[in-house]
Amino acid sequence: KAGVTQTPRYLIKTRGQQVTLSCSPISGHRSVSWYQQTPGQGLQFLFEYFSETQRNKGNFPGRFSGRQFSNSRSEMNVSTLELGDSALYLCASSLVTPNTGELFFGEGSRLTVL
Amino acid sequence: KQEVTQIPAALSVPEGENLVLNCSFTDSAIYNLQWFRQDPGKGLTSLLLIQSSQREQTSGRLNASLDKSSGRSTLYIAASQPGDSATYLCAVIPLYNQGGKLIFGQGTELSVKP
């Protein structure tokens, strides 16, 4: 059974550009969550999607957005990139609801903003 | 506001030693607590999930306990091996949370010396 797949694994962008990251959850999982990990702030919640609906959102500016497709695959987008957006972006999937179920994480997408 | 603290931030032990990692949280109203492992530059690997109604979970050489009333969890690693070297993170999902927002600790970086 394939795990959570994130693409691309590494990418380099310059300030002002935008980026789209993709996450394919474990087959059958309907919930997808996104997290940002930086050395200073640790792991911070971005948003969670379930059945194509955003159910929860963290304290990030509107430049950070996401969506989920009917096959549960999810994308997140960051517009007008800033140096501080450099981070490891992690996606997690859960069978039904992450409130009671186990979360499984992907390997992450390492974004560097120059 | 839920806060999660992990002490110590770093730990170095000789191979074969039994060790305990600590996690504390400020609000006992949680759905569950999950322990993860993260290798450098990698994603998170789920180790153990403890539901709020449970007191402990075991998997191989790992045992995690949960005391909601005191806001504490411990991860016990028996007979440590160099391959156990990684950062260990604990995370809780608050009871009032809608949509799987994990609150993470800052992690304990474990080094097991041969």
Which tens digit of pLDDT belongs to each residue from B25-53? 999 999 899 999 999 989 999 999 998 89
Confidence at residue B98, expressed as pLDDT on a 0 to 100 scale: 58
Buried/exposed A46-67: b ≥16 CB within 10 Å, e otherwise: bbbbbeeeebbeeebeeebbbe
**Of A91, A6, A110, A11, which is closest to residue A46 (Cα–Cα)?**
A91
Contact A103 B46 (CB under 8 A): yes
| Sequence letter at residue B26 | T
Q: What percent of chain A has pLDDT over 70?
A: 95
Q: pLDDT value at position B16? A: 97
- Token digits for B68? 């909601």
Distance CA A65, CA A47 (A): 8
Given a cut of 80, whether residue A96 has pLDDT beyond it is no
- Return the residue in A29, A33, A45 with the most chain B beta carbons within 10 A, the one to mutate for interface testing: A45
Question: What pLDDT sits at residue B63?
Answer: 97
Question: Are the beta carbons of A56 and B98 separated by less than 8 Å?
Answer: yes
Q: How far apart are CA B105 and CA A38, in angstroms?
A: 13
Tokens of B29: 């109203």
What average pLDDT score do residues A63-84 get? 97
**A13 pLDDT higher than 90:** yes
Helices (H), ranges, A8-110: none
